[in-house]
Amino acid sequence: MNFEEYRRHDATALAQRVSAGEITPTELLRLATDRAEATGTQLNAINRLLPERAQRRLEAPLAGPFAGVPFLVKDLAQDVGDEPTSMGSRAFANTPVPEDSTFVHRADDAGLVLFGKTNTPELGLKGITENAAFGATRNPWDRDRTPGGSSGGAAAAVAGGIVPMAGANDGGGSIRIPAAYCGLFGLRPGRGRVPVGPRFHEIWEGASSDHVLTRSVRDSARMLDILAGPDIGAPFHVAPPERPYSEELQHAPGRLRIAFSTRSPIGTEVDPACREAAEKTARQLEALGHTVEETEPAIDGMALARCYLTLYFGQVAAMVADGRPSDFELDTRALAMLGRALTSGEYVRAHQQWNTFGRALGRFFQDHDLYLTPTTAAPPARIGELETPPERTARPAPAAQAERRSAAHENGGGGQTRVP
């Protein structure tokens, strides 16, 4: 099998070729690592290679639905024991974690051959994948543009032909944005469907979910069958579906009631190309016999955004507290400062409001099966386009002073710090 043939196969097809004896896992890994090396400086999708771990996998018997297929995990939450989970940050780039995550255990049980970790923005905080620790990851379709984030390294690796699927996670679009920007299939599972143990019980109050980015729907469905399910010590157990997701693909869904909207829920401009993509999809679904209605949930988008950002700021403050402030990027330190300016009561109150949004969405889905919107409001940004302006990064003193004021507030001195 040459590279062009390799990249035409999804993970399911590659596993079938291995099972039939038409190619070996060693040969597949060589194709993947050769492609990783060839695209290393062009895409910068992988920030850590794990050749010794991959070799140990090849020396042991491989079994499972994806036996022998090369695989990458995201360098955020998807822990590989005795290796750092850098989260795209200098603060954690050299700190090994003690054990494999449940995600990695289940990927191993499926027979996947894990050989590296993919790049992510610092702490997974942005919809682009650029960081000071490992540099910018580029979109295989246009290397001047971002693949999105925070699972941008995973998306670049899959779209760039390194692997047929890669681990990803999503707390605010981090699977969906890269899927849209790189022409991939990206599904964000519901809360708790894929456990994130053992290091975490939930991530971002359950707002973040783990799964994969793929080139085919069937790979995503089969991988969800593998990753989903109860985990020892997990906070709750989500009931399984009536039948496996992979089997669900064989059953027609019937006539669906589909709502769609191209309006930004916070009132900002939506690029015409993004609107057109959603509208074209709506027309195609209607032509297939589904009922399509232009409508949206009764949710205050600005209120939801404020609640989400409260969570976001608070979580960043907590993550930065685990490292040295000087090791984090200026943007991250600024977000942490905003989080420290919040009171615990403000954080809890914002989180309680999630119930209002969840109930409204639940009522909406009593009358609709699907809700179709543009994934993003704008096309992929150019590399470096969203960087903090140089005139701000050149003057770190104000940020440092703000951090000292916030720390003084936490220690009971200096009065309260408030965000303008």
What are the residue numbers of the active site? 74, 150, 174
- 173: phi > 0 → left, psi -120 to 50 → alpha, else beta; which? left
What CA–CA distance (Å, rounded) separates 118 from 70? Answer: 13
Contacting residues for 143 by C-beta, under 8 A, at least 6 apart: 42, 43
Ordered DSSP codes for 152-172: HHHHHHHHTTS-SEEEEEESS
> Which secondary structure element, helix H or strand E, spans residue 160, and what is its range?
none
Is the separation of the CB atoms in 19 and 33 below 8 Å? no
CA distances from 320 to 124, 352, 360 (A): 13, 24, 34
The C-alpha angle with vertex 281 and arms to 277 and 285, in degrees rounded to 5, equals 175
What CA–CA distance (Å, rounded) separates 278 from 183? Answer: 14
What CA–CA distance (Å, rounded) separates 220 from 193? Answer: 14
What type of residue sits at position 41? T
> Which secondary structure element, helix H or strand E, spans residue 255, and what is its range?
none
Q: Which two tokens stand for residue 220?
A: 């995503």
State the pairing for strand pair 70-74/113-118: parallel
Contacting residues for 331 by C-beta, under 8 A, at least 6 apart: 122, 125, 126, 388
